[in-house]
A and B are shown apart, each in its own frame.
Chain A
Amino acid sequence: MGAPVLETINLTKYYNQNRGIENINLKFFKNNVHALIGENGAGKSTLIKILTGLILPNDGKILWNGKEIGLQRPQDALKKGIAAVQQELTLVDTMSIAQNIYLGHAPKGKLGMINSRKMEEQAAELLDELDLKLPLRKLVGELELADKQLVEIAKVLSYNPELIILDEATSTIGSKEVDRLYEVVQKLKNRGKSIVFVSHRMVELFKFCDSCTIFKDGLQVKDAKMSELDTDQIISAMAGCSVECSFPSKYESLENDVKRKLGKEILEVKDLSTEGGLEQISLYAKSGEILGLGGLQGHGQVELLQTLFGIGKITGGHISISGKKVRIRNPIDAMDAGIKLVPLDRKTQGLFVELSVGENIIPCALDIISKAGVISKEKQENTISDLVGKLSIRVASAVQTVKYLSGGNQQKIALGKWLLKPSKVLLLIEPTRGIDVRTKTEIYNLLRELANSGYAIIVSSNEILELIGLCDRVLVLFERKISCELSGEELTEDNILNASFGRKVI
C-alpha cells in the first residue's frame, strides 16, 4: 500500500455541545477506494466538510503525504489536490456546462482573458472520459438533476485531484450512470488516485470499495477490508446503543378499560400517490397508538407527513378520518380534518422565532380567546400560562422571544401550540432532532399522554432507538414505498436497519 496520501490524527469537531466527530484516525491510500459507512448524523459529512475546507476542526491534525497541513478555506483543499462531489451541488445554474466544469480554474489566453475555445475542448475531453454527451454551451440550470450530478463529478475531476471524495454522488443517478461511474472510478484508481466513497447502498459499497471505516455517533467504530465483511456485520456495526433515554410505557401496558376507549382506527390512507414521487402508500393509525416512520433519510418520510398535512399535491388515492373520506389540498383542510403537523425545521417552519412565546401560541387559539373578533386579554394570558405550565416550558416570562429559547423549549412550543384545540391526528417530523436528553424524555412522555387521551400520533425519526422505545408500531420506508411494518417482538434495531436497506426481514 505504501504511505498514505492523506492521514487524519485525532480529528475532532463539536457543534456546541453536540459531538460531530471525535478522535478520528484515518488513512487514505493511493490506488484504493475507501468507503465511509454510517447512519445519517454519524459524522461522515462533518469529516468531509473538514477535509474540503468548509469547516474547521476543534482538534486533531491532517497530514498530506506525511506533512501537516491546514485547510482553512475551500481553495486550500482544492490546491492541495482534495476535491469532493457533495450531495449539495456547487454548480451555477446561470452558467454553461463548460464554464461550470472549469469554474475558478479556466485556461487563460491572451491578456488574461479566458480562452473559451480551449476550455470547451478540455471540457469535451473530460466528458468523453465519463462517456457523457452533453452540449457544452447549455446552461446548467436547464439540466435534470441526474445530469447536473454528472457535471459536478466532471467538475471535480477537472482539478485532477489526488484524493477524490464521492459523498452520496450516486443518490440521484440511475443504474446505467452508476455503471459508468464505476468505470471512471476504476480508471482513476489505476492511475494512482485515492478515492473516498460514501453511499447507503450496500451493493455499491461492495462493488466500488476496497476498504472501509464505519462511523457511529461521531466515533470511529471499525476499519476493515470490504472482503473481510458481509452486510450483516456492517449493519450491526452501524447500529448499537447511544445515550440512554427513558421511554414511557406503551399502549400494550395500558389497563384494559382504557384500551377499550381507544384503539379505533382514526386515520386511513389508501394507495396515496403524490406529485413528489410517493406511490401507492397505504397505512392506518389508531387512537392511542404512536406509529413510527423509519428508514434512511430522504426516502419519503418527510414528504408523506407533509402530504397528510396538505403540503404537496396528491395525484391518487385517498385519506379518511374516522371512516369519512377527506380532501386535503392545503394545511387549512388538514387542520379542519383534525390533523396537525410539527414540521421538520422548527426555526423556519414551526415557529415565529422573532416573536414572543405568547405570540407564537395565540394564533392557534384565536377563537378560544376572542369574542366577535376582539381578543380578551385575560383569556389570552390564562391560555398562555396554562400551556407553558402544562408543558413545563422553562421561560422567564411569556414575552420572551422564542429565538433565545433552547431547542427543546422551542420544540415544545412548536408542538404545544396545537394542543389548545382538540385534534385527532398529530404528525411529527423528527421531533427530537438537536434536543437534549432531558427534554427528549419530556416530549416522549407528552406524546404518550396525548396518545392515551385519544390522539393517533405518527412520528418520523432517524434514530432507531427512539423508534423502538417510543412507538407501538413502525413502518419502514425504502425508496418511497413502505418496506415493512414492525411491531411487538419484531421491532428490533436489526430489523429496522435491514428494512431501511430494502432487505427482507425475517
Chain B
Amino acid sequence: MVHVKKISRVFRKIPAIYLTLVAAIIINGLMNPRMFTERGINNLLLQVMPMVLAAMAQTSVMIVGELDISIGAVVGLSAVILAVTMEPLGWLSVLLVMLAVVVIGVATGFVVAYFNISGIVVTLASSMIFSGLALLILPVPGGLITTGYSKIFTGVSLSIPNTLFMLIFLLLIWEYIKKCTMGINIYAAGGNYYSAFATGIPVKKAKVLAFVICAVLSGLSGMVLAAKTMSGDANIAISYSITSIAGAVLGGVSFAGGIGHMARAAAGVAVISILVNILFFLQVESFWQYAVQGVILLAAVCMSQLNRKI
C-alpha cells in the first residue's frame, strides 16, 4: 500500500504531457517493435525533430504574448537557402541561413513591438513573403545537400542520436535564458504587458528577442529538415505553423502569455507526431488523423481551463 502511495505521489508531480508522451511511445512501439532498436529510435527522433524545433520556436513567441504563423514559411525558406547555396558556398551556407533568420527575427519582432501590430497579423503577411521568396529561389524541390552535412544530424554518437544531443543542448540554453534578466523580461512582458512596462522592464526589446529566438529555432528546424530529406522544399513545412501551436498548447503553453515550458511544448508536438504514426498503423484514413488531433487538442485545452487557479 505504501509503495502505491509513493508511486502515485511521484506521478502526480510529473507534468501530464510527459506521461502521455511515454504512453504514446510505448503504444507506438507495441505496434512497431522495430522502433526500439538504435536505428528505430534515431528515425523516430528525426521524424519529430523539425516539428519539435518549430514548437519550441512558437513557445518563445507565445510566452511573450504573441503568435507566429510564419514559422512554417521560415522553416521552408531556411531549407531552401541551404539546398541552393551548399554547393557553391559549402559550410558558409549554414552561416548564411543563420544570418538570414536572425534578420527575419529582428525585423518581425521590430514591426510587432515598435509599430504595435499584433504578431498574428504581421506574421500572416510575412509568411506569404517568405513562402513566395522560397518558391522563387527553388520552385521545385531539389537543390543539393551533401551527405557530410546530412550525417551530422542523422548520425549517431556513442549510440545516442545526434539530434538528441542537440535537443538537450537547446533546452539547457533555454533554461539559462529563463533565469537571466532577458528571459524574465519575456515572461513578464507576456504575463502582463502594462505591469511590466510600468515596472520599467524593456518590454519592446523583450518582444524582439522572443521573435529572434523563434526565427533561429525555425532556421534550425529547416536545417534538420534539409538533412533528413537531403533536399530543399519550399512548402514542405507549411503545416508547422499550426501544428507548432497545437503542440505548444498541448504542452501547457498559454495563449494569454507569461506561461510555458519549452520542454513540454516539445513533448506536446512529439505526442501529436507519434499519434499520427499510431493512427497510420491502425489504418485510419488521413482525414480522421487530422480530426483526431483536433479533438485531442480541444480536450486538453478544456481540461487545463477547468484546472485553472488564476
Contacts and interface: CB of A to CB of B under 8 A. Distances in A.
Interface of A: 54, 73-75, 78, 86, 89-95, 99, 103-104, 106, 108, 111-114, 116, 139, 141-142, 155
A78 B202 CA distance: 13
B197 A74 contact: yes
Interface in B292-310: 309-310
A139 B310 contact: yes
A106 B259 CA distance: 19
Contact of B195 (A78, A91, A108, A112): A91
A74 B198 contact: yes
A142 B188 CA distance: 17
B199 A74 contact: yes
Contacts of B188: 92, 95, 103-104
Contacts, number: 73
Contacts of B191: 92-95
Interface stretch (B29-37, B74-82, B155-163, B173-181): B173-181
Nearest first, the 3 A-B pairs at minimum CB distance are: A141-B310, A94-B258, A75-B200
Interface in B167-214: 176, 179-181, 184, 187-188, 190-192, 194-201
A92 B181 contact: no
A139 B200 CA distance: 21
Nearest to A78: B200
A182 to B, nearest CB: 26
A416 to B, nearest CB: 34
Contact of B201 (A99, A103, A108): A103
8 contacts: A74-B199, A86-B198, A92-B188, A92-B191, A94-B254, A95-B187, A95-B191, A155-B199
Interface residues of B, number: 24
B199 A90 contact: yes
A93 B258 CA distance: 9
A89 B184 contact: no
A114 B181 contact: yes
A72 to B, nearest CB: 11
A139 to B, nearest CB: 6
Contacts of A106: 181, 184
A99 B200 contact: no
Contacts of A94: 187, 190-192, 254, 257-259, 310
A112 B180 contact: yes
B49 to A, nearest CB: 27
Interface in B191-247: 191-192, 194-201
A343 to B, nearest CB: 23
Contacts of A54: 198
Contacts of A95: 187-188, 191, 258
B204 to A, nearest CB: 11
Given A103-B188, A103-B201, A114-B180, A89 B195 contact: yes
Nearest to B63: A94
A99 B196 CA distance: 12
The residue in B187, B196, B200, B201 that gathers the most chain A C-beta atoms within 10 A of its C-beta is: B200
B309 A73 contact: no
A322 B164 CA distance: 76
Contacts of B200: 73-75, 78, 104
A91 B197 CA distance: 11
Contacts of A116: 179
Contacts of B201: 103-104
A106 B187 CA distance: 14
A93 B199 contact: no
A261 to B, nearest CB: 53
Contact of A139 (B181, B195, B197, B309): B309
Contacts of A111: 176
A163 B195 CA distance: 20
A428 B195 CA distance: 32
Contacts of A104: 188, 199-201
A428 B258 CA distance: 39
A104 B202 CA distance: 9
B309 A142 contact: yes
Nearest to B196: A92
B309 A92 contact: no
Contacts of B190: 94
Contacts of B176: 111, 113
B4 to A, nearest CB: 28
A95 B196 CA distance: 11
Contacts of A113: 176, 179-180
Nearest to B310: A141
A201 to B, nearest CB: 25
A75 B202 CA distance: 9
A92 B192 contact: yes
Interface string B257-268: 111000000000
A111 B173 CA distance: 12
Contact of B184 (A93, A99, A139): A99
A111 B254 CA distance: 29
Nearest to B202: A75
Contact of A114 (B184, B195, B199, B258): B184
A86 B181 CA distance: 25
B192 A91 contact: yes
The residue in B176, B184, B258, B259 that gathers the most chain A C-beta atoms within 10 A of its C-beta is: B184
A91 B191 CA distance: 9
B309 A90 contact: no
